[in-house]
Chains A and B, each alone.
Chain A
């Protein structure tokens, strides 16, 4: 039973002792920091995971031997009822070089030679895709829309690529640009072209580049020719025995750009038709000895699979594919989108955990502030403790004065912190914009992670946990000085000067 004098005196102390404001502000700051920082980090992690997920197929068959044929692999997997779509992929390191020679490019850049020392320009991870199948596994049209949106943030306005909207499947399979676009490009670049645009038929396979590469190229328009150079070892691809390195060169036509939201992917990757890349690697479709070469297979499983069923499908496909591979081949893998990016996602999750740990320490510091203020108050109020005892206050009632005081400090601080935290979360982007406009300060490096705004996501459960945690911690730390007050000898307290 709480004696009436305990809350009465606790409230009087709260209202008259300014030191309590310090405790309230300490808790409020800790709660605010925990909500805002974790809210931003949670939002960031959600965005990052969303971006990574959108840049990766749901399942990816990888770790295949160098001379793997898509025909054999698809035969091995097609019978599985949980596989909806399979799209072949061929990864190949390459170098890119625009071959446009117009005056504008030279004037801006001084030279259109690219800086091959840095990945943002000359180096590329080519992914050969089947333009008819790939959009059924990953949302390539959504990437194209996002690419336009991303680059528009930097003041460059372009229309989205239309190569995936080409009704003719043969032309779409080659990512061919509309005839007029390619004809205009050839004329600009001084490449051979028909005098009559109506007689021209597009022939250069298209190349889609991540928007960050296109952004760094300064001047690139639809149809601009891009020279692609690949190096390969013919012997390692099934033509029998090791051979010397062979380089192949092939012009492609810039067919637009994409933005998956995954910065590294958007910087380094370029998508090309898989047949064109196979041809560059010596597997021309017209060559009877060639195979439909793949390094990976992007897989979309049947909708509605549970996590357990998905895992079972992964193991099943690995077994089926392994059985179809030549004996002695290394173990192939079927990876989910999380497993494909496990290092990155683990690093982000680790950072999140570290951030939460730091925030816990902030909370402990604020708890220490409450402890210090209450302890100071107990010391200042020793005589009052003696008076209360003399008037008939029980030790428990006297301790309750300080316990209630600490609890009210915790509750007020917690509520204030929650209000400030939610407000900050709601207004973080306007605040950031204002700071940038007035002081060139940014609260969060949005560009580093290709974020449109500062992502902030407050989980109601986290808000509740932080608020309740702050109050509980306040009660715990208030208990120590409260116990000291309750145990104080009244005679000693009355004699205290």
Chain B
């Protein structure tokens, strides 16, 4: 398997007044294509910060990030946005759907990011069909035109998953995707994510506190005080 994402010596400091607070103190990790990785750690360990840096939402203070062997941490904001759209899908704990848009529009929005008005107009029917297909795939074929406020937590997270996958990313970064769901719904959502992951051979990096969920991944990375303190490979056969 090829390495899709590699981070080396990542540090991140935040300034509070005149003080600099180190949040990440030199993190090294790599993720292979089609690999499921769980990132475990206590609150304040730096998991979400690392996820944001790896997802190119923020720039590290030092260190390097590579996607498919290409250094990306020093790209411009616009280039990072383009790469994020092409390579990365995000799933958040609180779904982060746009409340004014229906489920279908939220998913379609992700298809519009890299197209001009005229380009999108030319392929709008095909784009819509793809979005409908994706929502049907996550079990929301009957809820296409519902707004987020009209959907349950599990349904919202399914919309978020569909949105993360619509642009065919190579890696999905999920920040406590079941943290806001009851256990039954959480299990359904995780099952769905892993099914799609397997179908599409996506790389998954999950930030979680849930040891049970982590044990279903291929590898578990443990963080403490901004450092990776432990990595363990999980027996996939047992986990599945």
Residue positions of A touching B, CB distance < 8 A: 1-5, 7-9, 12-13, 16-17, 383-384, 386-397, 489-491, 494
If A394-B78, A395-B81 touch, does A387 touch B113 (CB 8 Å cutoff)?
A: no
A12 vs B85: C-alpha distance in the bound complex, in angstroms? 22
Selected interface stretch from B90-98, B182-190, B209-217: B90-98
A57 vs B167: C-alpha distance in the bound complex, in angstroms? 80
Q: Are B55 and A390 in contact (CB under 8 A)?
A: yes
Question: What chain A residues lie within 8 Å of B163 (beta carbons)?
Answer: 391
Question: What chain A residues lie within 8 Å of B129 (beta carbons)?
Answer: none
Question: What chain A residues lie within 8 Å of B101 (beta carbons)?
Answer: 9, 12
Question: What chain A residues lie within 8 Å of B121 (beta carbons)?
Answer: 4
Q: Are A394 and B82 in contact (CB under 8 A)?
A: yes
Question: What chain A residues lie within 8 Å of B52 (beta carbons)?
Answer: 490-491
CB of B36 to closest CB in A, whole Å:
20
Q: Are B120 and A9 in contact (CB under 8 A)?
A: no
Q: List residues of B (109-147) whose CB comes within 8 Å of A's CBs.
A: 109-110, 112-117, 119-121
Q: Are A391 and B114 in contact (CB under 8 A)?
A: no
Q: Are B114 and A12 in contact (CB under 8 A)?
A: no
CB of A401 to closest CB in B, whole Å:
11
If A4-B119, A4-B120, A12-B105 touch, does A389 touch B113 (CB 8 Å cutoff)?
A: no
Q: List residues of B (41-93) whose CB comes within 8 Å of A's CBs.
A: 52, 55, 57-58, 77-78, 81-82, 84-86, 88, 90, 92
Return the chain A residue nearest B87 by Cβ. A392
Question: What chain A residues lie within 8 Å of B81 (beta carbons)?
Answer: 389, 392-395, 397
Question: What chain A residues lie within 8 Å of B86 (beta carbons)?
Answer: 392
Q: Are B114 and A3 in contact (CB under 8 A)?
A: yes
CB of A492 to closest CB in B, whole Å:
9
Return the chain B residue nearest A396 by Cβ. B78
A17 vs B112: C-alpha distance in the bound complex, in angstroms? 22
A9 vs B82: C-alpha distance in the bound complex, in angstroms? 19
Q: Are A395 and B112 in contact (CB under 8 A)?
A: no
A397 vs B117: C-alpha distance in the bound complex, in angstroms? 11
B232, CB-defined interface residue at 8 Å: no
If A392-B167, A489-B58 touch, does A4 touch B96 (CB 8 Å cutoff)?
A: no
B20, CB-defined interface residue at 8 Å: no
CB of A364 to closest CB in B, whole Å:
30
Partner of B85, one of A4, A13, A392: A392
A390 vs B109: C-alpha distance in the bound complex, in angstroms? 12
CB of A333 to closest CB in B, whole Å:
66
Partner of A4, one of B55, B77, B84, B116: B116
| Total number of residue pairs linking A and B with CB closer than 8 Å | 89
A4 vs B97: C-alpha distance in the bound complex, in angstroms? 18
Question: What chain A residues lie within 8 Å of B78 (beta carbons)?
Answer: 394-396
B100, CB-defined interface residue at 8 Å: yes
Partner of B90, one of A7, A13, A391, A396: A391
Question: What chain A residues lie within 8 Å of B55 (beta carbons)?
Answer: 390
Q: Are A4 and B112 in contact (CB under 8 A)?
A: yes
Could you list 7 further interchain pairs (A-B, Cβ under 8 angstroms) beyond the known A390-B55, A392-B113, A491-B52? A2-B116, A4-B112, A4-B117, A12-B100, A16-B100, A390-B92, A397-B81
Question: What chain B residues lie within 8 Å of A387 (beta carbons)?
Answer: 96-98
Q: Give the 4 A-B residue pairs with the shortest CB-CB distance, closest first.
A: A392-B85, A4-B120, A4-B112, A5-B112
Q: Are A3 and B112 in contact (CB under 8 A)?
A: yes
A388 vs B88: C-alpha distance in the bound complex, in angstroms? 13
Return the chain A residue nearest B105 by Cβ. A12
CB of A383 to closest CB in B, whole Å:
7
Question: What chain A residues lie within 8 Å of B115 (beta carbons)?
Answer: 3-4
If A391-B163, A392-B82, A394-B82 touch, does A1 touch B116 (CB 8 Å cutoff)?
A: yes
CB of B99 to closest CB in A, whole Å:
8
Question: What chain B residues lie within 8 Å of A390 (beta carbons)?
Answer: 55, 57, 84, 90, 92, 96
Question: What chain B residues lie within 8 Å of A2 (beta carbons)?
Answer: 116-117
Return the chain A residue nearest B121 by Cβ. A4
A16 vs B102: C-alpha distance in the bound complex, in angstroms? 12
Question: What chain B residues lie within 8 Å of A17 (beta carbons)?
Answer: 100
CB of B197 to closest CB in A, whole Å:
19
Most chain-B Cβ atoms within 10 A of its Cβ — which of A390, A394, A396, A490?
A390
Return the chain B residue nearest A397 by Cβ. B113
Most chain-B Cβ atoms within 10 A of its Cβ — which of A1, A9, A490?
A490
A383 vs B55: C-alpha distance in the bound complex, in angstroms? 17
Question: What chain B residues lie within 8 Å of A9 (beta carbons)?
Answer: 98, 100-101, 109
Q: Are A5 and B109 in contact (CB under 8 A)?
A: yes
Return the chain A residue nearest B127 by Cβ. A4
A396 vs B96: C-alpha distance in the bound complex, in angstroms? 21
Return the chain A residue nearest B58 by Cβ. A491
Q: Are A391 and B113 in contact (CB under 8 A)?
A: yes
Question: What chain B residues lie within 8 Å of A394 (beta carbons)?
Answer: 77-78, 81-82, 113
Most chain-B Cβ atoms within 10 A of its Cβ — which of A1, A17, A391?
A391
Most chain-A Cβ atoms within 10 A of its Cβ — which of B82, B105, B112?
B112
Question: What chain B residues lie within 8 Å of A7 (beta carbons)?
Answer: 117
Return the chain B residue nearest A1 by Cβ. B116
A429 vs B65: C-alpha distance in the bound complex, in angstroms? 73
A383 vs B92: C-alpha distance in the bound complex, in angstroms? 12
Question: What chain B residues lie within 8 Å of A397 (beta carbons)?
Answer: 81, 113
A12 vs B57: C-alpha distance in the bound complex, in angstroms? 25
A449 vs B84: C-alpha distance in the bound complex, in angstroms? 70
A8 vs B96: C-alpha distance in the bound complex, in angstroms? 18
Q: Are A490 and B109 in contact (CB under 8 A)?
A: no
Question: What chain A residues lie within 8 Å of B167 (beta carbons)?
Answer: 392
CB of A388 to closest CB in B, whole Å:
8
Question: What chain B residues lie within 8 Å of A16 (beta carbons)?
Answer: 100
Return the chain A residue nearest B53 by Cβ. A491
CB of B93 to closest CB in A, whole Å:
11
Q: List residues of B (208-237) whose CB comes within 8 Å of A's CBs.
A: none
CB of A240 to closest CB in B, whole Å:
93
Q: Are A13 and B57 in contact (CB under 8 A)?
A: no
A13 vs B82: C-alpha distance in the bound complex, in angstroms? 24
A457 vs B178: C-alpha distance in the bound complex, in angstroms? 67
- Could you list 21 A-B pairs, sorted by A, with CB under 8 Å? A1-B116, A4-B120, A9-B101, A9-B109, A12-B101, A12-B105, A16-B100, A384-B98, A389-B84, A390-B55, A390-B84, A391-B113, A391-B163, A392-B81, A392-B113, A394-B81, A395-B78, A395-B81, A396-B78, A490-B52, A494-B57
Question: What chain B residues lie within 8 Å of A489 (beta carbons)?
Answer: 58
Q: Are A391 and B110 in contact (CB under 8 A)?
A: yes
Return the chain A residue nearest B110 by Cβ. A391
Return the chain B residue nearest A494 by Cβ. B96
Q: Are A491 and B119 in contact (CB under 8 A)?
A: no
Q: Are A386 and B96 in contact (CB under 8 A)?
A: yes
